[in-house]
Structure 1
Amino acid sequence: MPFSNAPNGDLSRQLATSEAVSGGSGQQRMKVEKAAIPTMRKAFQRALDRLTPEVGQARSDLRIRPWAGDPVSSEAAAKFNDRSVDSGEAALGALEGYQQQLNNAVLALEEIERGYRGVERGNRDLMDDKQSGC
C-alpha cells in the first residue's frame, strides 16, 4: 500500500495524504485526504453498483441478428455487432474497462482505509500503553 513520503514522526500526520493505485494498462495515482476516503469509496461503489447490471444486460442484449435474412441486413448486423460487442474497440469493451477501473478504485480505497484503521489502532494501543505506565 503506497503512502506519500512524509518525515518521521507521528504516523497519523504521515498518513494525512495517501495514494490510491488503480490497475489497468497504466498505473494511475490519486492523492486522497484521509477524511475523504469513506465518501469517495462509497461514491465509487455506488457507481459500480449502478453500472454492473447495465454491463450484464448489454452483454446479452447488445448483439443483433440480421432482421430481414438478406445479405444487406446480415452485413449491417455484422458491422453493428463488431462495433458494439466483438472488436477490441467495441462499446461493450469500453464499458467493461470503466467497470474494472471503478472496481480497482474501490479496492484501493478499501485497502487504504484498512491501513488507516490499523495505524489508528496502533497509535491508540501505544497511547494506552503509555498511560498505563508500560
Structure 2
Amino acid sequence: MGNNGGKHHDQNGAPSPYAVATNRLHVDRDKLPAAIALFKQARDEMDELLSESGRNIQMRPMAADRVSTRVAEVLNHKGMGGTNSALGTMQQFHTQLKNIVTKLEATLAHYHRLEANNRDGIRSGTNV
C-alpha cells in the first residue's frame, strides 16, 4: 500500500493486474483486508476523538467581564464554528475516512463477486 502517483505496479515494477487506485491511494488486491482494517481503526479513533471534543473543546469565560466573555466566544468559534474550525476539520477528516472504508469495502466485494463468477464459470464449463 502506498502513494505512487496513481501508477499501478507490483514490487518488481511490472503493471499490477490486481490494484486499486482511489485518487492517489494505491492498494494491491491482497492488501485490501489489511487496508480496510487500518482505515476502520483510524475512523473508530476519530469517532472517539470527535465525541470527546464535542464535550471538551468549548471554552468558558475565565471571568465574568466582557473581555473574557468575548475571548471565549472567539475561541469557541475558532474551535467549533464552521468547516474551518478545529472541530469542522476533524469532522471532514472523519468523513474522508468513512468514504475510504466504504470504497475499499466495495472494491473488495467487487473482487469477491468476480472471483465467484469466475469459479462458477469454470465449474459450469463456460468461458468467463
TM-score range, shorter chain: 0.7 to 0.9
| 1:49 matches 2:51 | no
Q: Deviations along 1:84-125, whole A, 9 cap, x unmatched?
A: 001431100111111011100000000000000000000110
Paired position in structure 1 for 2:62: 67
Q: Runs of 5+ in structure 2 lacking a partner? A: 1-15
Q: Runs of 5+ in structure 1 lacking a partner? A: 1-13, 21-27
Which of 35, 38, 62 is equivalent to 1:40? 35
Q: Please show how residues 18-29 of structure 1 align to structure 2 within 5 Å.
A: 18-20=20-22, 28-29=23-24
* Paired residue type of 1:61: N
* Paired residue type of 2:77: D
What is the alpha-carbon distance in structure 1 between the residues aligned to residue 57 and residue 68 of structure 2?
Answer: 16
Paired position in structure 2 for 1:4: none
Q: Which moved more, 1:53-62 or 1:90-99?
A: 53-62
Paired position in structure 2 for 1:116: 111
TM-score normalised by the chain length of structure 2: 0.79
Higher relative contact order (CA 8 A, sep 6+): 1
> Aligned-residue CA RMSD in angstroms?
2.0
SS at match of 1:66: coil
What is the alpha-carbon distance in structure 1 between the residues aligned to residue 38 and residue 100 of structure 2?
Answer: 10
CA drift of 1:36 comes to 1.1
* Paired residue type of 2:67: V
Q: Which moved more, 1:116-125 or 1:63-72?
A: 63-72
Q: Please show how residues 91-110 of structure 1 align to structure 2 within 5 Å.
A: 91-110=86-105
TM-score normalised by the chain length of structure 1: 0.76
* Paired residue type of 2:18: A
CA drift of 1:127 comes to 1.1
* Paired residue type of 1:19: A
